[in-house]
A and B are shown apart, each in its own frame.
Chain A
Amino acid sequence: MMRFMLLFSRQGKLRLQKWYTATAERDKKKMVRDLMQIVLARKPKMCSFLEWRDLKIVYKRYASLYFCCAVEEQDNELITLEVIHRFVELLDKYFGSVCELDIIFNFEKAYFILDEFLMGGEIQDTSKKSVLKAIEQSDLLQEEDESPRSVLEEMGLA
């Protein structure tokens, strides 16, 4: 299973963190700091995998964002790269040519998409269409919640 996923910028700013095992806040912060340092120090020619503690780290850079996953010994690193890529494709389809700013300003949506794609560190659905449809329907539900006067905007969630 995937133990956690981190998204961070080249400047070391965390944009998303999803943990699939119970970890103390203090430990999370330390692990994030450690890993960011290690990954940001990697040169472009190096491979996307590294060993860290008892886990395998799979990371890939998309424009200004690093997508970094920790998987277990028996997990397949090459398919993990595809999992990362699928997540990026989902974000891209949803936001329309996604960029880092989209994820900064709509972080909760990024989480919603991730939570529709992965659960407990495993893939829920291998169909892009299916995942995006669920998000779309959920967004509609949110809108239906609201009264005609755009409270959605009021909440800053539109």
Chain B
Amino acid sequence: PLLRELIRTIRTARTQAEEREMIQKECAAIRSSFREEDNTYRCRNVAKLLYMHMLGYPAHFGQLECLKLIASQKFTDKRIGYLGAMLLLDERQDVHLLMTNCIKNDLNHSTQYVQGLALCTLGCMGSSEMCRDLAGEVEKLLKTSNSYLRKKAALCAVHVIRKVPELMEMFLPATKNLLSEKNHGVLHTSVVLLTEMCERSPDMLSHFRKLVPQLVRILKNLIMSGYSPEHDVSGISDPFLQVRILRLLRILGRSDDDSSEAMNDILAQVATNTETSKNVGNAILYETVLTIMDIKSESGLRVLAINILGRFLLNNDKNIRYVALTSLLKTVQTDHNAVQRHRSTIVDCLKDLDVSIKRRAMELSFALVNGNNIRGMMKELLYFLDSCDPEFKADCASGVFLAFTLKTIWLCPLCHFSFLQAGSYVRDDSVPNLIQLITNSVEMHAYTVQRLYKALLDDISQQPLVQVASWCIGEYGDLLVSGQCEEEEPIQVTEDEVLDVLEGLLVSNLSTPVTRGYSLTAIMKLSTRFSSVNRIKKVVSIYGSSIDVELQQRAVERIMKISLIDVALPLPGGPAPAPAPSVPTSQPTFLLDGISSQPLFNDIAAAGENLFDSLCLLSFLFQVNGANIFEWFILFYSTGIPPMTAYNKNGLKIDFTFERANPNPNIAVITIHASNSTEADMTDFVFQAAVPKTFQLQLLSPSSNVVPALNQGTVTQVIRVLNPQKQQLRMRVKLTYTHKGSAFQDLSEVNNFPPQSWQ
């Protein structure tokens, strides 16, 4: 039957089984026809096979037939043959190489449409071997005056370069004069080719920088020219070409002052003159914004770009709002103040109906929280937490904790307790986060422990709440019984009453093993703060022989460890820990036994690219290993200096964390954590830093010089900065690394050191 008849027939099948039967019957017929080497019907049969392949049926027995069709003299055969090759052939199988010779011949065919078929097939699915064999032919066609072929050759060259990057050099001569073409097809594909070359090779990038004026001219002509029906889309002339030129300009202007300056005017022009009523205009604006933010643009232009994003946020079109939020997220670190101006619009997006928009608005809101706006932001975020979908609750609760921990030491008592009452939605890492926050908020300790104690009297079913409360009582129980709370009426409570409550948690059915661990630890800690030591010893000895093995371990650990807690626990980079008391090997190892803390932190840092992941891992460790890790963790982080992101570009992110080196408070110890979110490793990674004259800098050895792909690990390195004059810390960093075969280098200023790191 004819192709269309077959399609019609197959569509009448009422069940999957019926369809399969028809297909099998037809396949059998096609197979025998192939065996008979029938030229007349081959084309039709392959076409039918392609249809069946689309329905999901195997069609590999047609592969060779496609090759025969390609070799035929008839255009009809070639058309179907090449289509079949693209759909059925796979570069993993050697049979595809049989195409190479046909393609070579067809690239030199007298009919441009045949040449076009060959270029298209090579440019869509050519394997590395085919590309190597045929690159010369493509290069020839790149120099032809036939614009139909030239445009295709350009994209074919792009594919060749993607498959075999070493061949890039051979296309360089042919790129001369590519931009002098009038034909938009050639222009567009040429810009794509130039972009590919510049992205892959710093040498090519330097070489092509001289094209900036020409690109600017072409873009200007597109904007200023009158109506051109052939390329017009809703009143805009060739938006596709405009977008590609803007993208190439971005790559050329990055890290280059002169190029950036040369494109400044045209960017401002596009940004102000582009019609925004339709998607196509906004697409151009979007690309313009991305370019402005990435090159070395003057601040006025950057503000213009952020304002465009701000206007996008108010657009009715949700797609536009979505890209605005995504872009603002990328730029919130570097242009924080400009983005802050749009905070209220961003917060409004929390109420959007679209899940992706809500999520981005939430992430952006976290990034915008600071000491000044925290009250208002928290109100909004709490409202959001209250009313949002379950899929958001955990992330929202955790995100707010993190935002507060990292940005501000101001504690808002109300909200945290309501978080804890969100109960089952709260992630496991919220507890350590909140504990960290409480630790940092020294002036609130008395108030916090009182509030939490009262909460325990009401309800001991919410495990996260109970855990944090227990911890607090263990830490600040002395403040509780001495009634030091200033923010509200101090309650009258005795040591015995407190111990009653904590012991009650130990025996309650509602308490999980983790919670019991917290409460036992709290009781033990109170042995150094309360006077009723005998009672405490009794409780501990009871649980020392408890059936619950975990509790038993903790009880024993704690007794042995109590003496060590008052000794300063070592910070990473500091002196080795005091030797632990000898522990029988069947006991779980103390965290600090014999291992210096630095490797541990590396492991933790390696577990995740940011502080948040580290906290998750630590909380997991806590549950397995016992209270001592917690102590270490809190001491480690309670220097109170928040970490910061020093550099974040092209997938390379470098975070700084801080400690004070004891005993010299003029030395800031900075650990850099480099992570790589791209899909290829960054090798030969070298981090160098320079500081102003009044400082002295010592750079220790890095953990490695490979930053693994996809955030699978970090490179860490310690910097010691002596700052005897307590001047504001500034640093210039130089990064070099190799990525996907190309060498990268970047210089960057780091100016956003938190005041606590140098004051």
Contacts and interface: CB of A to CB of B under 8 A. Distances in A.
Interface of A: 14-18, 20, 22, 24-25, 29, 45-51, 54, 74, 76-79, 81-83, 86, 104-105, 107-108, 111-112, 115-116, 119-120, 122-130, 134, 137-138, 141-142, 144-146, 151-157
Contacts of A145: 74-76
Contacts of B127: 22
Nearest to B42: A155
A86 B11 CA distance: 29
Contacts of B188: 123-126
A119 B156 contact: yes
A15 B5 CA distance: 17
Contacts of A78: 279-280, 282-283, 286, 319-320, 323
30 contacts: A24-B92, A29-B56, A45-B353, A46-B354, A48-B319, A74-B247, A76-B247, A76-B287, A76-B290, A78-B279, A79-B283, A82-B233, A82-B240, A108-B79, A119-B120, A120-B155, A120-B158, A122-B158, A122-B189, A124-B185, A126-B185, A130-B185, A130-B230, A138-B113, A145-B74, A145-B76, A155-B47, A156-B1, A156-B4, A157-B76
B84 to A, nearest CB: 9
Contacts of A153: 2
Contacts of B3: 155-157
A155 B2 contact: yes
Contacts of B83: 108, 111-112, 115
A15 B56 CA distance: 11
Contacts of A112: 79, 83
- A-B pairs with lowest CB-CB distance, top 5: A156-B2, A156-B3, A78-B283, A125-B185, A79-B283
Contacts of B162: 120
B74 to A, nearest CB: 5
B192 interface: yes
A45 B189 CA distance: 35
B679 A81 contact: no
A78 B282 CA distance: 7
Given A76-B286, A83-B240, A124 B189 contact: yes
B79 A155 contact: no
B194 to A, nearest CB: 12
B47 A79 contact: no
Contacts of B51: 107
A119 B159 CA distance: 9
Interface string B134-175: 000000000000001001100110110010000000000000
Interface in B297-328: 318-323
A46 B355 CA distance: 8
A125 B290 CA distance: 24
B477 interface: no
B283 A119 contact: no
B279 A82 contact: yes
Contact of A49 (B159, B287, B356): B356
B196 to A, nearest CB: 9
Given A82-B280, A126-B184, A156 B189 contact: no
A94 to B, nearest CB: 15
Interface of B: 1-8, 11, 40-41, 43-44, 47, 50-51, 54-56, 74-76, 79-80, 83, 86, 90-92, 111, 113, 116, 119-120, 123-125, 127, 148, 151-152, 155-156, 158-159, 162, 184-185, 188-189, 192, 230-231, 233, 238-241, 243, 247, 279-280, 282-284, 286-287, 290, 318-323, 353-357, 679
A116 B287 CA distance: 25
Contacts of A111: 83
B43 A157 contact: yes
Given A107-B51, A120-B124, A122-B189, A77 B2 contact: no
Contact of B151 (A76, A79, A81, A124): A124
A34 B341 CA distance: 40
Contact of B75 (A74, A105, A120, A138): A138
Given A29-B56, A77-B319, A119-B124, A126 B283 contact: no
Given A22-B91, A129-B230, A47 B318 contact: yes
Nearest to B119: A119
Contacts of A120: 123-124, 155-156, 158-159, 162
Given A20-B124, A82-B279, A155-B76, 13 more contacts: A14-B55, A46-B355, A74-B247, A78-B279, A79-B283, A107-B54, A111-B83, A120-B155, A126-B184, A126-B231, A134-B148, A141-B113, A157-B3
Contacts of A77: 319, 322-323
Contacts of A17: 54
Contacts, number: 191
A47 B188 CA distance: 28
A128 B123 CA distance: 21
A33 B8 CA distance: 25
Contact of A122 (B192, B238, B355): B192
A89 B321 CA distance: 26
A50 B44 CA distance: 39
Given A78-B320, A145-B74, A105 B124 contact: no
Nearest to A122: B192
B111 A141 contact: yes
A115 B120 contact: yes
A130 B321 CA distance: 34
A155 B638 CA distance: 79
B319 A47 contact: yes
B361 to A, nearest CB: 13
A155 B1 CA distance: 9
Contacts of B231: 126-127
B354 A45 contact: yes
A76 B243 contact: yes
A111 B82 CA distance: 11
A86 B238 CA distance: 12
A134 to B, nearest CB: 7
A132 to B, nearest CB: 11
Given A123-B188, A155-B2, A157-B3, A138 B319 contact: no
A83 B116 CA distance: 21
A138 to B, nearest CB: 5
Contacts of B119: 119
Q: Which of A83, A104, A120, A154 has the most CB of B within 10 A?
A: A120
A143 B673 CA distance: 65
